[in-house]
Amino acid sequence: DGSSVESLDYEVIENYAYREEQAQRGKLYIGYYVGVKWFFALLIGIGTGLAAVLINISVENFAGWKYSLTFSIIQKSYVAGFIVYVLINLALVFSSVYIITQFAPAAAGSGIPEIKGYLNGIDTHGILFFRTLIGKIFGSIGSVGGGLALGKEGPLVHIGACIASLLGQGGSRKYHLSSRWLQVFKSDRDRRDLVTCGCAAGVAAAFRAPVGGVLFALEEVTSWWRSQLMWRVFFTSAIVAVVVRIAMGWCKSGNCGHFGFGGFIIWDISGGQEDYSFRELFPMAVIGVIGGLLGALFNQLTLFITRWRRNYLHKKGNRVKIIEVCLISVITSVISFGLPLFRNCSPCPEADASSGIECPNAPGVYGNYVNFYCGRDKEYNDLATIFFNTQDDAIRNLFSAKTIHEFSAKSLLTFLVMFYTLAVVTFGTAVPAGQFVPGIMIGSTYGRLVGMFVVNFYQKLNIEEGTYALLGAASFLGGSMRMTVSLCVIMVEITNNLKLLPLIMLVLLISKAVGDAFNEGLYEEQARLRGIPLLESRPKNQMRNMTAKEACGMQKVVYFPRTTKVADIVSILRSNSHNGFPVLDHSRSGETLVIGLVLRSHLLVLLHSKADFQHSPLPSDLRGRSLPIRHSLSEFVKPASSKGISIDDIHLSSDDLEMYIDLAPFVNPSPYVVPEDMSLTKVYNLFRQLGLRHVLVVPRASRVIGMITRKDLVIED
């Protein structure tokens, strides 16, 4: 169903309104423009940072309150505790799915595939609305707080992008929150830059990883990257880091309830393994392979299950979606509460005062060695430590160093299988859902398993299971998402340990290569499923043997003559769904001449306003009049992720239909053209590198007017 997606237009349409506006711009305006750009970058940073803080504080408080309540009840009755636990989770999850289904359907899922699509040049309907933003924020709080097997990181990226896009439009028109003087960004191009900033800000906020955020945005937007943008994106990420830091400082003084204990993703393992020996590289490579396999499997399973949901389950309406999520919530609660009950408790390790590790921990307190359903005093439940816990704390425990043999292989395996299944099933339901944290959970579980074997096998070495858990996490994310540099940097930043960089890289190289042998990355697969046609950075091999002419098929080109009857325009627009039409004119000597390209959306604006209708079929300049200015550039701007006017919204009288429009002032006078026999590889590069929407295929030129070389383009001010 590609009907809800539409390409963006990153080309500058140099029509007369644009030239008009350019001519009016003074030096002052350019200064203002640059100033607003940076100011917006600042606002995006602050907004995304605050959204992240809000989500984190809320989630931690809901979860903290939930766990302490449950713990206090199970001191008396496990059954009552269980019921309370299930109900609280259900209530939170229900609030989330209710918001999503009733109010902001576009906010379901992670949003990263759509944002990836946006940065690649495709707008998905509704993805950047104000209501999507709101739904995403509050939906995330419910779904993550409710203990589902999903994370809040993907949604944060989406939130950052929404904030950026709303700023770029100068606010939300629908909710009358817009301001005219902020509407300086009138092209998809400028908005895309803002969304790039927002995307980086989201990652920076999710992982407290400013460099990782920049690189993440970069990996997704490589084709339109410019160094100035890089600096602005970096600035945004830095602002996020500062905002988050201030908020956390404020929370340290106890203003944020349960937040003080856990909260923001950052699993400092600077106390981890100091050094690694070459013998360890083999088990690490094994982790990479496992990650590649499990990651690829995850992509495949989620693809099947999402396709099934789209085609059957979710067609049945919102009620089914709500019931589905509630069911999954109950199952998740039952498993996470019930499974630890079946696990025997283990005796606490010898107390080691210097390590500062307590065992067992008081119930409801963050830390390792949770006492859950243990008979004796000095015992802990290793499965509850990871399962019956917030995900952040669970990961912290899995990554923890100096806690050798905390977990038994059996518990880890049980958890791995269960959580993997839950993550697969939860994926694609109608709640905001990120895959980073579940991925880290899964990966660190088998990583720690491998680490345990290594510890047993190479007795002598100074090996930390926590380091292996980290590598496992990296390998699973690499095997599933197939990101490379940005993932690597994010992992380094969240663990705050630069020394592990080469190891993480090794593991990622392997897991990505293994995963690539099976399928595409998670986000690419999901984007494909949603009908978002991503353009990869490399043209396909068979394009070398195709020409531009072959690519556009046998279809006759639909074009407009320079002055066209309104009735003709309407009937042509109705008869096809093309979005761009060449405009042809006759030169004085009688030859035809392509004078430009006119966009469907611009034509619709013209039809809607009727200001340019004329009675004569002659072009206006031929009639000796200069062009009156009837449109400002902003009238042609389409709001983000909405469809603009449709041809069916326009009502014309029969008199109107008999009139003419001179299209010349409204065309893009110089669309990019390629000769008909250019190989498709070259066309592809042109199209993708410049972020185009239409390329005109024309006959070979008959003569050369001039040559442009580097010298002609190096102009001094």
Ligand X SMILES: Nc1ncnc2c1ncn2[C@@H]1O[C@H](COP(=O)(O)OP(=O)(O)OP(=O)(O)O)[C@@H](O)[C@H]1O
Does residue 581 bind ligand X (CB under 6 A)?
Answer: yes
By three-state DSSP, how is residue 576 classified?
coil
| Partner in contact with 699, chosen from ligand X, a second copy, none, beta carbon below 5 to 8 Å by kind | a second copy
Q: How far is the CB of 523 from ligand X (least distance, A)?
A: 20
- Encoded one letter per residue, x for contact with ligand X by CB under 6 A and - for no contact, window 637-676 reads ----------------------------------------
CA dihedral 77, 80, 85, 88 (to 10 degrees): -140
CA 38 – CA 68 distance, rounded (Å): 44
Distance CA 96, CA 430 (A): 9
Rounded to a whole number of angstroms, the minimum distance from the CB of residue 669 to ligand X is: 17
To ligand X, the closest distance from the beta carbon of 249 in angstroms equals 47
Task: Report the DSSP beta bridge partners of residue 432.
Answer: 109
Q: CA 296 from chain center: how many Å?
A: 20
State which residue, 46 or 692, has the beta carbon closest to ligand X.
692
Query: Could you say whether residue 520 binds a second copy (CB under 8 A)?
Result: no
287 lines the binding site for a second copy (CB under 8 A): no
Taking CB within 5 to 8 Å according to partner kind, which of ligand X, a second copy, none is near residue 285?
none
Q: Which is nearer to ligand X, 73 or 551 (CB)?
A: 551
Choice from 323, 501, 611, 618 touching a second copy (CB under 8 A):
501
Spatial distance between the Cα atoms of 10 and 583, rounded to a whole number of angstroms: 20
Which residue's CB is nearer to a second copy, number 117 or number 135? 117
Question: What is the nearest approach in angstroms of ligand X to the Cβ of residue 519?
Answer: 25
Please provide the DSSP assignment of 625-694 as one string: -PPP----GGGGPPPTTS----GGG----HHHHT-EEE-GGGSBS---EEETTSBHHHHHHHHHHHT-S-
Closer CB to a second copy, 219 or 406, in the complex: 219
Residue choice 34, 246, 558, 627 for contact with ligand X (CB under 6 A): 558
User: CA 582, 585, 587, 591 torsion: positive or negative?
Assistant: positive
Nearest to ligand X of 127, 201 (CB atom): 127
Say which residues have a Cβ less than 8 Å from residue 618's Cβ, sequence separation at least 6.
Answer: 563
CB of 369 vs a second copy, minimal distance in Å: 28
**Considering only 191-199, 227-235, 433-441, 466-474, which stretch makes contact with a second copy by CB under 8 A?**
227-235
Residues 118-157 that bind a second copy (CB under 8 A): 121-122
The binder of 226, among ligand X, a second copy, none, by C-beta within 5 to 8 A per type, is a second copy
CB closer to a second copy out of 154 and 521: 521
Residues facing residue 6 across a β-bridge? 123
**Which of 23/715 has CB closer to ligand X?**
715
Q: Does 375 bind a second copy (CB under 8 A)?
A: no
Scan residues 561-620 and list those touching a second copy (CB under 8 A). Answer: 578-580, 582, 584, 591-595
Q: Does 61 bind ligand X (CB under 6 A)?
A: no
User: In whole angstroms, how far apart are CA 431 and each of 145, 324, 347, 526, 600?
Assistant: 12, 11, 40, 16, 35
Q: Which is nearer to ligand X, 421 or 579 (CB)?
A: 579
- Among 177, 281, 323, 557, the residue binding ligand X under the rule CB under 6 A is 557
- Number of C-beta neighbours around residue 66 at 10 A: 23
- Of the ranges 151-159, 370-378, 576-584, 659-667, which one interacts with ligand X (CB under 6 A)? 576-584
Binding of a second copy at residue 705 (CB under 8 A)?
Answer: yes
Rule CB under 6 A: which of 1-40 touch ligand X?
A: 6-7
Strands (E), 353-511: 379-380
Strand 563-565 to 560-561 pairing: unpaired
Q: Which is nearer to a second copy, 413 or 690 (CB)?
A: 690
**Cβ–Cβ < 8 Å for 567, 548:** no
In a 13 Å sphere around the CA of 284, the CA atoms on its Cβ side amount to 23
Element holding 474 (H helix, E strand): helix 465-481
**For the residues of 37-50, what is the DSSP string, one character each?**
HHHHHHHHHHHHHH
- Judged by CB under 8 A, which stretch of 123-131, 323-331, 420-428, 706-714 contacts a second copy? 706-714
Decide if 152 contacts 206 (C-beta within 8 A).
yes
Residue 295 Cα to chain centre, angstroms = 19
Q: Shortest distance, CB of residue 316 to a second copy, whole angstroms?
A: 31
Residue 355, binding choice from ligand X, a second copy, none, Cβ under 5 to 8 Å by partner class: none
Sign of the Cα torsion 202, 203, 208, 213 reads negative
Q: Under rule CB under 6 A, how many of the chain's residues touch ligand X?
A: 17
CA distances from residue 350 to 57, 347, 460, 685 in whole angstroms, order as listed: 35, 9, 20, 64
Per-residue contact string for residues 692-711; x = within reach of ligand X by CB under 6 A: -x-------------x-xxx
User: Which helix or strand (DSSP H or E) is residue 346 part of?
Assistant: strand 346-347
Q: Which of 67, 71, 118, 235 binds a second copy (CB under 8 A)?
A: 235
Give the one residue of 139, 272, 283, 580 binding ligand X; rule: CB under 6 A.
580
Per residue, the 3-state secondary structure of 66-128, as one string, reads HHHHHHHHHCCCHHHHHHHHHHHHHHHHHHHHHHHHHHCHHHCECCHHHHHHHHHCEEECCCC
Nearer to a second copy, 144 or 664 (CB): 664
Q: Which helix (H) or strand (E) holds 569?
A: helix 566-575
Select 106 or 597, whichever has its Cβ closest to ligand X. Answer: 597
Nearer of residues 150 and 211 to a second copy, judged by Cβ: 211
Least Cβ distance, residue 463 to ligand X (angstroms): 53
Binding-residue pattern over the window 460 to 489 for a second copy, x denoting contact by CB under 8 A: ------------------------xx--xx
Site of interaction with ligand X (CB under 6 A): 6-7, 552, 555, 557-558, 577-581, 693, 707, 709-712
